[in-house]
Amino acid sequence: MNNRTPTLRQLQILQALAEYKNISLVAEKLFISQPSVSIQLKKLSELFDIALYHVIGKTVKLTEAGFAVLNASDEIFTTLNHLSTKLDDIKGVKSGKLKINVVSTAKYFLPLLLGSFCKKYPLIDIELNIGNRAQVLANLKEDKDDFYVLNDCPEDKNISADPFLDNPLVVVAPENHELTRQPSISLTRLSHYPFIMREIGSGTRMSVDKFCQSHKVSLKERMIIESNEAIKHAVVADLGLAILSQHTLDYILKSGLVTLNVEDFPIQSTWYLAQNKVRKQSILAKLFYDFMQNEGKLVLRKFIENRE
């Protein structure tokens, strides 16, 4: 009987090939030589006696057989990950690495929480990745990280998401703007001013569009910017008003912005701590979840109080 047992390294290389679709890029990402990648892929194809991929120009595409091996390798690594988690649970391990993926707005408050968490559990390392909403949701779907932080998490039977923090959205203006002298501002008056908006698809933009639709108000969109920092600079430069998460203002020393008292504001949204349901929660993950739910708000509140 032919032994068709590939090595874990060969399967890892095939996974990287499926992701990067280029042999030289696979070699770069895995820190091995390009000839070594080619040799291991050739051995893997010979092991199953069938072509696993085709090279078209500079791009590599998996064959039907290649995808079959890829799916099996995904299952193998998932099983090994679950085994590692189970063994850590048995040993009661409180050290290791947590991978956390967050949308860009969360970068204003999450480092404060991670700093406090790591002081409490100094043997736990954190790998923090920041991306836009589409990137974070794509990684969540593929179960690449332990936790994901995003606002207004979509309903999905494959996603487990729990709220842990309010995310009020407020209207901001430069310090010398005429509206800063108004004790109260109606939505009708607000609609007369130009706005700097987040891109379509961002969590903030989705909340703003939903609010405008429900209140039957239309905002004058002057400019679209994907970065909260760039939006704040544009507002300070008096290019327009903006609607931002209060968290983008609370944890910086000086912004040059003023929060306006606008009718029916702030818009209420929520930060969620999400996981792909296929991932078994480890001891480390449970420690982080419990910390975020039970201590997170207190950590942020103390920071603001101390700064004031």
Task: For 206-225, write each residue's pLDDT tens digit.
Answer: 999 999 999 999 999 999 99
State the first-to-last Cα distance of the chain, in angstroms, to the nearest integer: 74
Asked if residue 255 and residue 210 are part of one domain, the reply reads: yes
141 with 97, same domain: the answer is: yes
pLDDT of residue 153: 79
**Do 33 and 102 sit in the same domain of this protein?**
no
Q: Are residues 132 and 59 in the same domain?
A: no
How many domains, the chain? 3
Final residue in a domain of this structure, among 25, 50, 76: 76
Q: Is residue 64 located within the same domain as residue 197?
A: no
* Average pLDDT score over residue span 275-289: 84
Structure-token match 């736990």, residue found: 124
Q: What pLDDT, on a 0 to 100 scale, did the predictor assign at position 87?
A: 72
List, for residues 156-182, the tens digit of each pLDDT value: 888 888 998 889 999 999 999 999 999
Q: In terms of residue numbers, what domain contains 248?
A: 169-259
Going by pLDDT thresholds of 50, 70 and 90, the confidence category of residue 193 is very high
Residues 39 and 98 in one domain: no
Mean of the pLDDT values across residues 233-245? Answer: 93
In a domain, 239, yes or no: yes
